[in-house]
Amino acid sequence: MTSELEPNLNALLQRCADEPIRIPGAIQPHGVMLTIDERSWTVQQASANAPDVLGVAAEQGQPLSHWLGEATTQRLQGALSNDSLDDLNPFAVQVNAVAYDALLHRHDGVLFIELEAVATSESGTSVDQHLTRTLRRLQSAKSLADLYEISVNEIRALTGYDRVLIYRFQEQGHGQVIAEAATPELDTYQGLFFPASDIPEQARELYRLNWLRIIPDATYVPVPLVPALRPDTGQPLDMSYAVLRSVSPIHCHYMQNMGVRSSMSISLLKDDRLWGLISCGNRQPLQVPHALRAACQTIGQVLSMQIGALEDLAAQRERRAKDGLLVSLAESMAAACGDVYHGLVERSRDLMDLTGATGAAVVIDDAVHLFGQCPAADQVKSLHQWLKAQPTAVFETPSLSAVFPEAQGYRRFASGLLAFTLPKPVDNAVMWFRPEIKETVQWSGNPDASKVIVADRLQPRESFEAWKQEVDGISRLWTVGDVYAATDLRRSALESDLARQVLREQDAVRARDELVAVVSHDLRSPLTVISMQCGMMQRVIAADVSPASKRLNSAIDTLQRATARMTTLLEDLLDTSKIEAGRYLIDAQTLELSQFFEDAWTLLTPLALNKFIDLSFTGEPDLKILADPERMFQVLSNLVGNAIKFTPKEGKISVTATVEGHFVAVNIVDSGPGIAADQLPHVFERYWRIREGNPSGTGLGLYISQGIVKAHGGELTATSELGVGSVFRFTLPLATL
């Protein structure tokens, strides 16, 4: 039977959740509503009671002056042009000798005017005095309990409601009464829980948007808007921010079942989230005037700030109490041999004390270390696999079996889980466990009875008598301080792990540099010997012109070229290692640029003449640069040599130097084929080379050249255009006289 009703029940719950409470098309009858098009100052919609209350004949599209009078309308228009709506509310209006509070707000392109008659007995002075006293008492409160008690007692004294309570929302959506002031003959709700279905999600959102909502009489007959739809859009009027907005008939029925005829709710917000409500109820109809409501709203706003401040203060105290353990655990991780988590394994008691856990597990690759009351190692491994798929860096829940069904088998000692992992290639995790606490929760009525179906309609529950329910599978909640401790410990573990990675990488780089240096040194001598022996053999067979001698001479030439290439490669590798390690040293001297160019031209021109390339070096006269002559000649030789290599026969290469501020800019411009746009960003990377036409290149020349230029404090760049040529440009410091 239950399974047959479940789909229908779910559908009705969804229908209730989707009820159009923002667009009821009606207001409560204790006031009048007008919506205004401010471009023409005409009334678009009016509540059906407006003509009788204001004593005017109603016709669609009439100007506001027809409803409020010319003088009042002009005064309102002037005020709206000069002041913000917050400063205007309430705006005093008098129509037919009756005084009204006009509450103004703009929403969805229209101006809302809501009129409530002002009671002749209202006294603003007494309200202000009461409010001042209340705020002073709130500010002097030393604890949250004091805050709650002061608030409910002061609001009840100010308004006259039979009952005023503070209702705090839990994470699961349920609410609990944490403070109450009521007449002695009423049953107490203190400590009772109310199910989440009592206040659907969309109703909570309206509470978040509006600080206050009032229902003077839950038995009211709604007053419809005329016309029912907006004339300009043809859509229902969105009344999300309207004070007079008609509420859900289900809620009015709910109030009557509680024995309440009048209610007022004041929202309590923290970080723009709905934290709770101050809920006021009365057994008889009660109209609370705007001045009193404004005072209550102020109390709610101050209480919201005080709740936030005191909760934050309590959290800070809890965090400070954990700082000592956090520091010692961080030091233990930093000093641990092997994985940083070994430092936690050695301090297992402190690890559990940090979060008040009764068990802990540390996963280090295949090893699972268990302390206190924990699931078995294989269960922890299964939990860890599930944990890795969770989106948060630090995961916490007081009811693990509700989100991880496998935990049902060990909920007795691990219903609560707080855990984190590090972004490492090996499996790792730190987990804290708390045992199940079987407790009895007192509900205001059976929460399952809130789902009542009558004639295919969902009805509010009728019983609010205390109803006890035993709850299992839940641990003591993890506090803000517990989550902070886990987050801080994770940060320390991450810092220690990264520091170790950096040291390992530095050691690897150092070992590589030492290996390159040793290999370069040890190979240079045998390569020199090979080169010398090749030269000697060539001299011995120089006079022999036999075919065998010619073949031997060719082989010796090949051997010498290979030896020279190996020597160059070793030098390049050594330079690369120094550049990457940041140990590339230069001996900067003042050089005459003209002499430097002349030496380069002498050595490089023969290479250019072999391809009939026009090679020119020009620079401004008397230029002096601050550079290492050997290293800069290496750069210039590399750049010009590459240009010669890739420029076709009878091409042109120009090397020019100009002063740019405190630097000299040297440009090597060739008429070669250019470099493709997708290759250009990579030309200074290690081992980059254009294979076609450059089979012998090591791919390190440009990388080393850039490192040399940077060591001088300059910059090496390249631009190119296919079919036109390339420009390599580097800068060097200008020598000061």
Distance between CA 471 and CA 411 in Å, rounded?
13
Lowest mean pLDDT among 289-293, 327-331, 670-674, 688-692: 688-692
**Helix and strand counts by DSSP (H, E) for the chain:** 20, 29
pLDDT at residue 257, as a whole number: 82
Question: What six digits make up the tokens of 110?
Answer: 């229209």
Provide CATH code, domain 336-478.
3.30.450.270
Give the whole-angstrom CA distance, residue 162 versus residue 166.
Answer: 14
Residue 481 has, within 13 A of its CA and on its CB side, a CA count of 20
| pTM, rounded to two decimals | 0.60
Which tops the pLDDT comparison, 81 or 378? 378
* pLDDT value of position 223: 97
User: Which tens digits make up the pLDDT trace of 135-166?
Assistant: 888 888 888 888 899 999 999 999 999 999 99
Confidence of residue 573 (pLDDT cuts 50, 70, 90): low
Phi, psi dihedral angles at 667 (to 5 degrees): -115, 125
What is the predicted pLDDT for the residue at 332? 92
What mean pLDDT is predicted for residues 104-120? 92
Q: Average pLDDT of 371-398?
A: 94
In one-letter notation, the amino acid at residue 351 is L
CATH of 1-118+227-244, one of 3.30.930.10, 3.30.450.20, 3.30.70.890, 3.40.1010.10: 3.30.450.20
Higher pLDDT, 570 or 353: 353
Among 3-12, 326-335, 591-600, 661-670, whose mean pLDDT is lowest?
3-12
- Asked: is 121-226+245-314 a CATH 3.10.580.10 domain? The reply is no
More confident residue, 685 or 240: 240
Which residue, among 469, 471, 449, 468, has the nearest Cα to 460 in the 3D structure? 449
Look-up of token digits 């209202």: 122
Q: Over the stretch 525-540, which tens digit does the pLDDT of each residue have?
A: 565 656 666 666 767 7
In whole numbers, what is the pLDDT of the chain averaged over residues? 83
Domain 501-580 belongs to what architecture? Orthogonal Bundle (1.10)
Residue 441 binned pLDDT confidence (cut-offs 50, 70, 90): very low
Would you place residue 580 in the very low, low, confident or very high pLDDT band (cuts 50, 70, 90)? low
pLDDT one-digit tens code per residue, 29-70: 999 999 999 999 999 999 999 999 999 988 888 999 999 999
| pLDDT at residue number 50 | 95
Q: b/e string for 634-661 if b means 16 or more Cβ within 10 A?
A: bbbbbbbebbbbbbeeebbbbbbbeeee
Domain chopping of the chain, boundaries: 1-118+227-244, 121-226+245-314, 336-478, 501-580, 589-733
- pLDDT attached to residue 506: 61
Percent of residues in the chain assigned helix, strand, coil, to nearest 5: 45, 25, 30
Q: Which of 86-95, 289-298, 343-352, 534-543 has the lowest mean pLDDT?
A: 534-543
Mean pLDDT of 76-85: 85
Three-state SS at 67: helix
The count of C-alpha atoms lying within 13 angstroms of the C-alpha of 348, restricted to the half-sphere facing its C-beta, is 14
Query: In CATH, what is the architecture of 589-733?
Result: 2-Layer Sandwich (3.30)
Domain pair 1-118+227-244 / 121-226+245-314, same fold: yes
The pLDDT, as a whole number, for residue 516 is 56
Instruction: Please tell me what DSSP assigns to residue 675.
Output: -
Per-residue pLDDT for 503 more than 60? yes
pLDDT of residue 419 exceeding 80: yes
Cα 65 from Cα 106, distance rounded (Å)? 19
